[in-house]
Amino acid sequence: MALICTGTIGIDTVYTPHGHREKILGGSCTYFAAAASFYGPVRIVAAAGDDFPAEFHKTLKSFAGIDTTGLEIRKGSKTFAWGGKYLENMNSRETLFTELGVLGERPPEVPAAFADSQYIFLANSHPGVQLGMLNSLPKRRFAVADTMDLWINIARAELDLLLTKIDGLVLNYDEAELLTGKSNTVAAARAILHMGPKFVVVKKGEHGCLLVHKDGIAALPAYPTETVIDPTGAGDSFAGGMMGHIASHGMKTSQATSFNVLRESLAHGTVIASFNIESFSLDRLSKLTRAELDKRYAEYVSMVRV
Amino acid sequence: MALICTGTIGIDTVYTPHGHREKILGGSCTYFAAAASFYGPVRIVAAAGDDFPAEFHKTLKSFAGIDTTGLEIRKGSKTFAWGGKYLENMNSRETLFTELGVLGERPPEVPAAFADSQYIFLANSHPGVQLGMLNSLPKRRFAVADTMDLWINIARAELDLLLTKIDGLVLNYDEAELLTGKSNTVAAARAILHMGPKFVVVKKGEHGCLLVHKDGIAALPAYPTETVIDPTGAGDSFAGGMMGHIASHGMKTSQATSFNVLRESLAHGTVIASFNIESFSLDRLSKLTRAELDKRYAEYVSMVRV
């Protein structure tokens, strides 16, 4: 069933304690789609400038499941570029530069061929843009959005409206605190449930994630790994595994938003994200095999069982 | 089967964002024993001064399983006192004062009646003292120690020796990093396995714990709770639930140190610690019923299952 992701495609420069890479393929749509493609087809809606390297396009197309029809290349515009540096423990990063490029222009359009999409992931962007995307997808069964501190601070009214229209919100624990004023993660997530969504997923990086839902709370640890080369895209590949799992089963809204299904989908997200962070850009996911993914998923499920 | 804990009994003053309490019953032995007593009998070896309030003694004795024969009250000495303040997010605390009292004197003695103890928890203290305690318990089947940054920094030789003589080490994630120089938690714990113990439990507070063992890694989230009134004693009550579970089944060394048994024991530790932090001192554990404990354990197991 048709899964779609709207977000960014970018050119990243990343410094980590393990080395650095300049001008590599990045962006929320990129990581989401690469991860989701292991579960089934995924459509992307994003814009790039005419400086977007042909090899990046080729990399995206190398994932059989990714449909790049909605990747708009704009003449005379520049691709979004981001530079970041991870600190020693890999949990914190600082932004070195942000060149908005096309992100400062009009949002990309949803191609007519994508209008029947049913599973929607609105990667982090201005909630006004997210609302516009959502409204252009009338066949939606299941919509999940990500957000960030910037929008909580400067676009609260649009974000509040968005929260009443989506099934689930995915965000970091510090953003959950900022959105609600509650420093306890569980209390913050419960407060967000009162703002509209049926469930909230709080991402805690190496400490895993928390699902808060009217029918319960699930806490999933991250896959414990010694190989953390570049955490960039962990959250988006996590969302890609989660949504990919749900879309691939063609679930109805009631099923997709049920507690047990969501918990299982988060395990898929956790495992595919653990591969993503083993290398820069899509280097690891490009080489990942279905057998490796299945093996680690089984290992993870056994690891968290009591 | 006989479970014993050596450590501190103290008088705490605690400030948290939820209020503060002065001169309340605290100490590693206190929290460990109260938690372990829900599983079976537990012996404590600790010293206090003649300022130790009679009501604290009464509180300890109110837990049917706690044997206070090894609580040495020293005439003319002062009880260990500690004051601490938790910051807003409850994950960090600062020490306001430490009055060593009896902790600056000779260590308490293991009573002859306790010499047959088989399950040993060496709560945080100087590794030289921990080694002495261990040597006076020749019937031991299963010994676990806790440690802290201070001993890693100033008593490394004794700590290294201790690590070769215990079955398991329990410590915080930042202490694991300090002990090994490795900032990745899994890598740090694996490095500690090479120093002697059969398993390492890394405590991560609200983010749960990690078990690293030659046969695998288990990651357990904390019980997600909105009620965190005072985190003091979380680690020791966690160890009490873990060791209490193992001792109550009279396990042999091979069984107690097996991966699956340890994983299950950590779930018991996680759940009883979640009650402990719901109030100051032993206020919550004093009121805890077996039915409440069983109910939350079942809930936790269902919560972490995928």
Q: What is the mean pLDDT of residues B220-242?
A: 94
Q: A263 contacts in B (CB within 8 Å)?
A: 306
pLDDT at position B206 over 90: no
Q: Residues B193-197: contacts with CB within 8 Å, 24+ apart?
A: B195/B160, B195/B163, B195/B164, B196/B163, B196/B164, B196/B165, B196/B166, B197/B163, B197/B166, B197/B167, B197/B168, B197/B169
Contact A185 B219 (CB under 8 A): no
pLDDT score recorded for residue A88:
81
pLDDT band of B306, cuts 50, 70, 90: confident
User: What confidence tens digit (pLDDT) does each residue in A279-299 have?
Assistant: 999 999 999 999 999 999 999
The 3-state DSSP class for residue A6 equals: strand
Give the gap in angstroms from C-alpha A67 to the nearest C-alpha of chain B.
31
CB contact at 8 A, B101 and B49? yes
Residue of A nearest to B267 (CA): A306
A226 pLDDT exceeds 90?
Answer: no
The predicted pLDDT at position B90 comes to 80
B239 touches B146 (CB < 8 A): yes
> Rounded to a whole number, what is the distance in Å from the CA of A260 to chain B's nearest CA?
8
Question: Which pLDDT belongs to residue A306?
Answer: 75
Q: What's the mean pLDDT when you consider all of chain A?
A: 95
Helices and strands in chain A: count of H runs, count of E runs: 12, 13
Give the residue from B177, B200, B259, B306 with the most A CB atoms within 10 Å of its CB, the best one to mutate. Answer: B306
What CA–CA distance (Å, rounded) separates A232 from B134?
Answer: 47
Residue A183 has what pLDDT? 86
A89 to chain B, minimum CA–CA distance in Å? 6
Q: How far is A219 from chain B (nearest CA, A)?
A: 6
pLDDT band at residue B281 under the 50/70/90 scheme: very high
pLDDT at B226 (0 to 100): 85
pLDDT by residue (tens digit) across B12-55? Answer: 999 999 899 999 999 999 999 999 999 999 999 999 999 999 99
Q: How confident is the model at residue A248 (pLDDT cuts 50, 70, 90)?
A: very high
pLDDT recorded at residue A201: 98
Q: Per-residue pLDDT tens for A82-95?
A: 999 998 878 789 99
Would you state the pLDDT for residue B144?
98
- Note the pLDDT of residue B130: 97
Average pLDDT, chain B: 95
Tell me whether residues A224 and B300 touch, CB distance under 8 A: no
B280 Cβ partners below 8 Å, 6+ apart?
A: B14, B21, B24, B229, B230, B232
A82: contact with B, CB 8 A cutoff: no
Band (pLDDT 50/70/90 cuts) for residue B116 is: very high
pLDDT at B199 over 90: yes
Whole-number Å distance between alpha carbons of A301 and B139: 38
CB contact under 8 A, B186 and A220: no
Would an 8 Å CB–CB cutoff place B304 in contact with chain A?
Answer: yes
Question: Domains, chain B, ranges and CATH?
Answer: 3-304 (3.40.1190.20)
Residues 144-203 of B with CB under 8 A from A: 183-187, 190
pLDDT tens digits, one per residue of A250-268: 999 999 999 999 999 999 9
Mean pLDDT of B56-77: 97
Task: Count residue pairs from A and B with Cβ separation < 8 A.
Answer: 87
Q: Residues of B with CB below 8 A from A224's CB? A: 185-186, 210, 217, 219
Average pLDDT over residues A49-68: 97
- pTM, full prediction: 0.89
Report CB contact under 8 Å: A221, B219. yes
What is the reported pLDDT for A286? 98
What pLDDT, in 10s, does the model give residues A197-214?
999 999 999 889 999 999
Least confident of A61-70, B8-17, B73-82, B178-187: B178-187
Q: Look at residue B183 in the predicted model and tell me its pLDDT.
A: 86
